[in-house]
Amino acid sequence: MAARQSAEDRKAQIVAEMLRLADEIGPDRLSTTDVARAVGLSQPAIFRHFPTKGALWLAVAEDIAARLTERWQAAAAGASAPHDTLRALIGAQLTAIAETPALPSILFSRELQVDNPPLRDVFRTLLGTFEAHLVAAIAALHDDGRLRREVKAADVAMLLTALIQGVAIRWTLGARGFPLVEEGLRLFDVQMALLTRQEETNNG
């Protein structure tokens, strides 16, 4: 028999199990029956907390959004220079994926996105916010004269977002056989070296 918990604690447990099972089973195959079994509840009990499966996935998306936002804010607050801020943001995103491996598959699940427009809107807003953080740090690097002027901040942000996605996919397909954060930051350093102004490179 499941231990008695407050409604909020139970909701948090259900969301946590959704994230764990999404990694184990896959978000598109995950059922409320799987979740109910994992938390020791009946399926109707799950629906007392979340009226529909879509509402449950939306709660998962909002939980992801809250945790990522907190990470980004901490990364930006803990860095003093634009390059450090940018690197910290990339590191925060990679760390979040390493700690929640289901994150990429949830973010890019076509089935979830098509079936749940509110969830899609949460993730679209989340991606836009992350890119805005990146653009602000990149613009500051431009102001410092450290980046090539012909490369737009928005394009650099898109490249860095794609870098995160690419290394996360490679990490997943490779059975997580390399340290995601370290490899992602190594590639970030390579990418930024390519975008550094040529005269600064020559002087170095």
Express each pLDDT in 33-90 by its tens digit.
999 999 999 999 999 999 999 999 999 999 999 999 999 999 989 888 999 999 999 9
Same domain, 109 and 179: yes
| Radius of gyration over every alpha carbon of the chain, rounded to an integer in angstroms | 20
Structural domains of the chain, count: 2
Cα(44)–Cα(128) distance, rounded to whole angstroms? 36
Same domain, 81 and 47: no
Same domain, 43 and 70: no
Same domain, 147 and 86: yes
Cα(30)–Cα(40) distance, rounded to whole angstroms? 16
| Domain membership of residue 21 as a residue range | 1-51
- Kindly report the CATH number assigned to the domain that includes residue 35: 1.10.10.60
Note the pLDDT tens digit of each residue in 192-204.
999 986 654 444 4
Instruction: Count the alpha carbons within 13 Å of 50 in the hemisphere toward its beta carbon.
Output: 24
Kindly state whether residue 59 falls inside one of the protein's structural domains: no
Same domain, 68 and 23: no
pTM, full prediction: 0.87
Same domain, 84 and 28: no
Same domain, 27 and 91: no
Same domain, 103 and 160: yes
